[in-house]
Amino acid sequence: MKFSDQKIIVTGCASGIGAKTCELLKKEGATVIGVDRNPTTQFVDEFHHADLSDPVSIDALIEALPSGANGLLNIAGVPPTAGATLVLQVNLLALKRLTLGCVDKLADNAAIVNVASLAGVGWPEAIPSIKAASSLVDFDQVGAFCEEHNIDDARSYAFSKEALITWTMQNRWTWRDRGIRMNCVSPGPVETPILKDFIATLGKRVEEDMKVMDRPGTPDDIAPAIVFLASADSVWIRGTNLACDGGMFNHIQCAMNDLL
């Protein structure tokens, strides 16, 4: 089994893509260390409660997590209906704080996988705000940052994923001396309770584009991509944003460039 004798940390383990990822990891022999705000015993060997909107809770989590984990899978996130401040706190600042706090505790050759989104594909048009966000670490300053950069509730989810994709790219070789790699997966529309939020975030054009899809994705479609990037099979993949979207991104790109 691919993950025999390996410990993998999974945030957002209690439901959706996170739960399915834990299930696949268990089938491949992993010891799964789950993190969520909602308790669960399903598909996890060890569970840690954490509030990812609270830096104190995140720091306590980092302290409590065991050393020597072979993977950190950042799957937890909140939709745009949670409000811009909370979205950036959880989807961006918390993820970065947890990851950077765990790096020294990870085993050599560990894999870090971040779940981004098709909503983040517009990152090249958001570079000034993304650069400004790179120095944002104080959770209490997120509201002011959103006001300054015109990031309202509807924009917040896409921006958090744009910044996450670029952060993943920038850290492609940061821990190369220890063999630690970082990649991300960008799901397209996934059949979850926040699918309508996702469509609203991307706008009417994407709602129209979705009509050409055969179906929305499911956690069963996304989890294998995450597990692949966590495995030794992906050791030469670094800083990559893997689209797992039923072809939606390429459809949008073709439409934008008159290639349909």
Which of the residues 43, 123, 139, 157 is marked catalytic? 157
Interval 230-253 mean pLDDT: 94
Task: Give the Cβ contact number of residue 243 at 10 Å.
Answer: 18
Radius of gyration of the chain (CA): 17
Digit-coded pLDDT (tens) for 30-73: 999 999 999 999 999 999 999 999 999 999 999 999 999 999 99
Report the pLDDT value the prediction gives residue 205, as an integer from 0 to 100: 59
In the chain, which ranges are E strands?
7-11, 31-36, 46-49, 69-74, 106-115, 181-187, 241-244
Which residue reads 């073709």 in tokens?
254
157 catalytic per annotation: yes
Q: Grade residue 209 by pLDDT with cuts at 50, 70 and 90.
A: low
Tell how far CA 15 is from the center of its chain.
14
Confidence of residue 256 (pLDDT cuts 50, 70, 90): confident
Own/partner pairs, 224-227, CB within 8 angstroms, 24+ separation: 224/24, 225/185, 226/17, 226/21, 226/73, 226/75, 226/113, 226/115, 226/185, 227/21, 227/24, 227/25, 227/28
**What local confidence, expressed as pLDDT, does residue 59 receive?**
98
Task: Look up residue 128 and give its two tokens.
Answer: 């000034």
Residues 87, 164: Cα–Cα separation, whole Å: 12
Please tell me what DSSP assigns to residue 134. Answer: T
Nearest CA to 228 among 173, 181, 190?
A: 181
Residue 192 has pLDDT above 80, yes or no: no
Q: Name, in order, each residue with C-beta under 8 angstroms of 256's C-beta and a sequence gap of 6 or more.
A: none
Please tell me the predicted confidence (pLDDT) of residue 253. 85
- What does the mean pLDDT of the chain come to? 94
Per-residue model confidence (pLDDT) at position 40: 97
Among the residue ranges 16-20, 21-25, 248-252, the one predicted with the least confidence is: 248-252
Average pLDDT over residues 14-19: 95
Determine which of 92-101, 223-232, 240-249 has the lowest per-residue pLDDT on average: 240-249
**198 has a pLDDT exceeding 80:** no
CATH 3.30.70.370 correct for 7-202+217-246: no
Q: Is the pTM of this model over 0.85?
A: yes
Q: What are phi and psi of 190, to 5 degrees?
A: -120, 140
Q: For 152-175, write each residue's pLDDT tens digit.
A: 998 999 999 999 999 999 999 999
Domains of the chain, residue spans:
7-202+217-246
